[in-house]
Structure 1
Amino acid sequence: MESRIRFDWRDLELFVAVAETGSIARAAERSHTVASAVSKRLADLERELETPLLERHSKGVGLTAAGAALLGRARGLIEQARQVEQEVRGYGTGLSGMVRLYANISAIVEFLPAALASFGREHPGIRVHLEEHVSDAIARAVVEQVADLGIVSDQPQRDGLELVPFRTDRLQLLVTPDHPLAGRGRVRFAESLDYPLVGLPATSALHARLQREAADSGRELHLPIRVSSFDAVCAMVAAGLGVGVVPQAATTPYIASLGLVALSLDEDWALRQLFLCRRAGEPLSPAAQRLFAHLCQA
């Protein structure tokens, strides 16, 4: 059975003060206490450790061999204790901690790199755990307290969620330069339904939107290929396997490098609203509140 520790941090602080000043009286003055209290605590510390730490004489005090050994250890322990205290206090003030942020691929590619980089510079003690999910899964995770904050596209129909407008992104249609629609500049989405579409997973918000728009046109989506990312959509379109609908800002580098043609979608819904979400009616941790405020202002 392990023995319990029989002294506390205050005992070590007083011992270090006496060792550094060479005097119980001066140590008491530095520690804002009375000499008799310092003397008693050190005597109790020696009794608990079962060895003398100080040599007391008329001109002050010196260290025994045991006291000298304890001094180095005590200084290190006190510094570690101060660091622990600062770290734990940081959690209460939001200066330290971890925030779980779930976001869809549009937000991750388009908006979060710069926002999280600036947040990290301002709050180096806060770690952000970022995961990519589709919007419905993000909303569920926030409500169920799996995630602290989320960024979703469109407006999920879920109780217990507070939504704040975050950013907008514009959808566009990608085709190859030799595609029949390539010279149009602007097209209606219904016009693209005559061609195969390189799609995203069925659980994605963008897929659900395209499926609704196709149904409103009395058509169905022709999806011979599904991929999991916007860069993969660009690659498949470049290979001639279909057309693709992607956010403008998330895919501009791929479009340029692959020589694709981006056509504006002449639809109101092509301008999508992204929302920052949190649990409704519940306070965030101080760290999460700092990130929430930063994202709202960034």
Structure 2
Amino acid sequence: MAITLRQFEIFIAVAETTQVTKASKMMFLTQSAVSMALAELEHQLGGPLFDRHGRSLLLNDRGRYLLPIAKKLIFQVRNVESMLTENKASLAGSLEIIASSSIGNYVLPYPVGLFMRMHPDVRINMLVANTRQAERLVAQGVIDLGFVEGGIADEAVRRTPWFEDELRIIVSASHPLATQEVFRIPDDLEKTAWVLREEGSGTAEIFKTRLGNHAALLNVVTRMGHTEAIKKAVEAGVGASCLSELTICRETEYGWLKSLAIEGISTRRQLSIIQHQDKMTTRLMEEFLRFCGIMTECGLSREYLSSPRRLDELLRYAAGAAADSRQAP
């Protein structure tokens, strides 16, 4: 039986995670499927590619030799596929993207839906994960584009700044702090109970880090693992919270929640688009990236993210203007 690209993909996943369990989750396969594919590859190549250390699989000399070759082959095949299937007459194809939680749940759904309506032969599949998972899948070439909130460490991944997000304090419309426009530190910290994300959440960690020594004043009465649950708890009067401005547009627009800027502390964070350094940028990728760029080029207000109708109007206008400028002599 000939070696397959799928076997190489599984080999790369195991090499980078050092465990069959983690590789199976990354590849969305069962552990037995990963183990069988790896065993078959080692049989076809005439020997082991890993040393077994407890539950960990560490590359041996043969595996270290094969890894860069396997990665290069995967990228070459995908670039050939992209090159040969490109249709210059119309925009068509399937794009695989990944986005961190805030972006995937609150920013991209409307633009992705609009882009596919404008280009009926385009399909965009989006996976929502954390920044580390997004970086890993983009580095492996499994995903075409990533949209993330955190920093990037892998040298194989190119990062392009997109636009800035800001953390805001939220309280219910009836909360005593709702009469204010800014949240003052340390005075206001002791005036309320707090509803925060679970330990390890990027948003919660940024908030506590920016508070510095004042974080000790937080009276955390409950932690919840999802942004929507936190917003409902705050709206019900359980306490205050700190969330991304991107996630609260609808609630603040309708007056269900009051949003406060934090006085004297920068809570801005950079959102970025990532892609593999060696991955070919197809026409579909180029058009989608340009479309996403409209959101920053036009100074998109956060309120548009809460209304598909208003976002639709703005992006259609901007897309038309961009098309006119490309046709101008």
| TM-score, structure 1 normalization | 0.59
| Alignment equivalent of 2:97, drawn from 98, 101, 115 | 101
Preserved contact between residue 207 and residue 267 of structure 2 (Cα < 8 Å)? no
* Residue 151 of structure 1 pairs with residue 147 of structure 2: yes
For 1:166, give the aligned amino acid.
W
CA distance in 2, matches of 1:218, 1:239: 24
| Alignment equivalent of 1:179, drawn from 175, 181, 185 | 175
How many percent identity over aligned positions?
20
For 1:208, give the aligned amino acid.
E
Q: Which runs of 4+ in 1 moved over 6 A?
A: none
| Structure index of larger Rg | 1
CA distance in 1, matches of 2:160, 2:187: 34
| Alignment equivalent of 1:116, drawn from 94, 112, 116 | 112
CA distance in 1, matches of 2:273, 2:114: 17
CA distance in 2, matches of 1:119, 1:277: 19
For 1:112, give the aligned amino acid.
L
CA deviations over 1:82-116 (Å, ceiling 9, x no partner): xxxxxx99832373322111112332344323422
5+ residue gaps in structure 1? 1-87
Deviation at 1:242, TM superposition (A): 2.2
Deviation at 1:235, TM superposition (A): 0.6
Deviation at 1:187, TM superposition (A): 1.4
Cα distance, 1:121–1:166 mapped onto 2, change above 3 Å: same
Cα distance, 1:109–1:220 mapped onto 2, change above 3 Å: same
CA distance in 2, matches of 1:293, 1:232: 34
CA distance in 2, matches of 1:114, 1:128: 12
Preserved contact between residue 160 and residue 274 of structure 2 (Cα < 8 Å)? yes
The alignment yields a C-alpha RMSD, in angstroms, of: 3.2
Preserved contact between residue 95 and residue 285 of structure 2 (Cα < 8 Å)? yes
Preserved contact between residue 101 and residue 129 of structure 2 (Cα < 8 Å)? yes
- Identify the residue that residue 58 of structure 1 maps to in structure 2: none
SS in 2 for 1:277: strand
| TM-score, structure 2 normalization | 0.54
CA deviations over 1:58-84 (Å, ceiling 9, x no partner): xxxxxxxxxxxxxxxxxxxxxxxxxxx
Cα distance, 1:227–1:185 mapped onto 2, change above 3 Å: same
- Identify the residue that residue 35 of structure 1 maps to in structure 2: none
* Residue 140 of structure 1 pairs with residue 140 of structure 2: no
CA distance in 2, matches of 1:258, 1:196: 21
* Residue 274 of structure 1 pairs with residue 271 of structure 2: yes
| Alignment equivalent of 2:239, drawn from 238, 242, 261 | 242
